[in-house]
Structure 1
Amino acid sequence: MRRPPRSDRPDTAATGIEPALGTRDRLHARLQEHLASAVSEFTAATALVVLVIALSFASPNFLTADNLFNIGSQTAVIAIIAVAQTMVIITKGIDLSVGSVAALAGVVGAIVVRDLGFSVWEATVVAIAVGAAAGLANGLLVAGARLPPFIATLGMMSAGRGLVFIITGAVGVYSLPESFQLLGNGQIAGIPFAIVITAIVAVSAAFMLSQSRFGQYVYAMGSNMEAARRSGIAVRRNLTAVYVLAGALVGLGGMVAASRVNSGQPNYGIGLELDVIAAAVIGGASLFGGQGRIAGTLIGAFLIAVVRNGSVLLGINIHYQQVIVGLIIWAAVYFDQYRRRRLEARG
């Protein structure tokens, strides 16, 4: 008798994810999820436009070229790491370690430039590798040891921050060459380099999720992990790959953040997970998995950045900014739950 294929190994007879998602009901569900994402993106985009119009009247400095480029540069780090968080959320996971890993990657990148004479590009590769290593650890804990993503990444959040303080002695890494600022403050044809990096990351991630087989696997795992496994998808391998890729992007974001301030800061990224989760959820990613797009995440990231920028221009206390972001998260998650209840009620 022929042995059935292992649950974590793709069936050679399977083509893509059709066995798991080939029924009429599942196709209808996917269509509903895409429609829900589009509605969320439209809602967030509308809110962003209204906010921009309101701030343009409230502050004469808001629509200046310098301020708009400043918003773009400030958004870059959040957007890059939010793209990483979106991929994890689509798989019905969460990554609470992004702030610690970004700080660790930025600090290591700064150290290899200052002490080992690495160029900024070589240091960027090192920072990405640090992030990918942390992502691999998260992936092995989630997919291999089958720990809940919340617990696995919570542990990495603590371990990563501890490593940062051990490496730096809780002191920032300074005395860096001017070239170190290229990623965060440099320009290409008048466009901030950070914005260019963000655009490349966003377009690449969007293409991967929408056009590649791996992207189909990501959505399939988030929609129904057991169905994805039964369809022949190598769940452990692909889920681990998601965390590794996300970690690499977090490492890149950490390097851009360090470059912006021309130093490696051990306290960087505390609370960053709140902003990137908010950006993903505001843009339509569902904490219940299987739903989310990069375009929506970018809208969410810019919405948060405009809220913070407008608050500064209007002299609003920084603590009120956190309250506003918290309220936005509540509204976005409630709206997601409301949509899902409506879809379930319709069968």
Structure 2
Amino acid sequence: MMRSSTTSSTGEPRIRRDFAAIWQTYGTLGILFLLFVLCSVASPEYFLTRENLLQVLLQSSVMVLLACGVFFTILIAGIDLSIGSAMALSGMVMAKLMVAGMPFWIAILVGGLGTGVVLGLVNGALVNLTQLHPFIITLGTAAIYRGVTLIISDSRSVFGFDRAFVNIVAGRIVGIPVPILIAAVVAGFLFFMTRFTKLGRNIYALGGNAQAAFYSGISVKLHTLVVFVISGACAGIAGIVITARTGAAEPNAGVGFETFAIASAIIGGTSFFGGRGQVTGVVIGGLIIGVINNILNLLNVESYYQQIVMGALIIAAVTVDKLFTRKTR
């Protein structure tokens, strides 16, 4: 009797499938746990203190917000390289409005969140109209958004706005920094959307097979637009948070942040080939990036090495995804 092509006498395909399942479920948590152990050994006096762990979460908050946004674009086998520039432009517009005398809460909605949504709409509309890969579109819009930021700011930091904005958005509630709570609320909302709404199921279907989704009655262009709006909105919220944390809108804010955000999503188990991933994994991926940055700072390692670590992690995570997941389909 012939043996099934999916099974060998050595059981290797089954082992590969089992490893893929374990990796998808526990791989990211395992990496985070291992990092905690290594960091505790490297800096036993300071790393596990309450204030330092809060600092890790605080440093990770902006990255988690950006990673949650880029996660949706990767989920449909796309990408958004403009999130760092969109974050900077959103924060700059908001700061300009506050300096001009607009109440900070209106500036947050109009300048911060509103600008992010508009920038996401532009990205999605260009992808739909040109039918070019999002890599090309967002590579171009990243340069455009950064240029607009430099122009409207005259390449200078903008500060001197309402201190109530800084005190509220960058303050603490029950000892917990507000940026952490903002990131948690956004991630929780997006988790609910992906797990319990028709929109979330349609986005996964689009990422799994765009042609099949189209023939199933799913509007590919509409959902592509929605995905980039989500990414832009997350970038806008990140712009609000980072402006409050630094007390100024910096024209060069977010430079290179797209690398960290993409790394967070990929390390968190999001497939670069679309259709698979979870918001919870992305959050853990963002924490991994935060832990790495934190321990490198504690050990006084040059920040340039962080870029090397991020690049290596992206390559390793995508390689594992390809070797142990796609081969089992």
Alignment TM-score, normalising by the size of structure 1 = 0.86
2:209 is matched with which residue? 224
Give me the whole-angstrom Cα distance separating, in 2, the residues matched to 1:51 and 1:287: 23
Secondary structure of 1:72's partner? helix
Corresponding residue of 1:304: 289
Report if aligned partners of 2:127, 2:133 keep a CA contact under 8 Å in 1. yes
- What are the Cα deviations for residues 39-62 of structure 1, in whole angstroms up to 9, with x where unaligned? 235112111112112212321111
Instruction: Say yes or no: does 1:158 pair with 2:143.
Output: yes
Question: CA contact under 8 A between 1:184 and 1:257: conserved in structure 2?
Answer: no
The 10-residue stretch of structure 1 (137-146 or 335-344) with the greater mean CA deviation from structure 2: 335-344
After TM superposition, the structure 1 stretch with the greater mean CA deviation from structure 2, 171-180 or 38-47, is 38-47
Tell me the secondary structure at the aligned position of residue 275 of structure 1.
helix
The reply to whether residue 209 of structure 1 matches residue 194 of structure 2 is yes
- Partner deviation per Cα, 1:241-277 (whole Å, 9 max, x = no partner): 1111221111011110111101000000110100000
The Cα of 1:108 is off from its aligned counterpart by 0.8
Corresponding letter in the other structure for 2:231: A
String of CA shifts for 1:109-140, please: whole Å, max 9, x gaps. Answer: 11111112322x22221211101101001111
Q: Which one of the candidate residues 73, 77, 92 is aligned to 1:107? A: 92
**Partner of 2:36 in structure 1?**
52
Answer yes or no: is 1:97 the counterpart of 2:79. no
Q: Is the 8 A contact 2:83 2:231 kept in 1?
A: no
Please state if 1:263 is matched with 2:248. yes
1:252 maps to 237
Q: Which amino acid aligns with 1:106?
A: G
**Does structure 1 residue 83 correspond to structure 2 residue 99?**
no
Q: Could you tell me which residue of structure 1 aligns to residue 124 of structure 2?
A: 139
Q: What is the aligned counterpart of 1:287 among 248, 267, 272?
A: 272
Q: How many residue pairs were aligned? A: 311
- Give 1:342 shift: 2.2
Gaps of 5+ in 1: 1-31
**CA 1:183–1:54: 2 relative to 1, 3 Å:** farther
CA distance in 1, matches of 2:204, 2:69: 14
Question: What RMSD over aligned residues (CA atoms) do the two structures have, in Å?
Answer: 1.7
TM-aligned CA deviation for residue 36 of structure 1: 5.0
Show the counterpart of 1:240. 225
CA distance in 2, matches of 1:261, 1:41: 36
Give unpaired runs (5+ residues) of structure 2.
Answer: 1-15
Q: Is the 8 A contact 1:37 1:285 kept in 2?
A: no
Question: So what's the TM-score if we normalise by structure 2?
Answer: 0.91
Distance 1:85 1:103, change over 3 A: same
Distance 1:138 1:40 in 2: 30
Of all paired residues, the percent bearing the same amino acid is 37
Provide the C-alpha distance between the structure 1 equivalents of 2:291 and 2:25, rounded to a whole number of angstroms.
Answer: 16
Q: Deviations over 1:155-207 (max 9, x none)?
A: 11011001001100000101123222145521111111111111111111011
Q: Describe how 1:156-195 pairs up with structure 2 within 5 A.
A: 156-182=141-167, 184-195=169-180
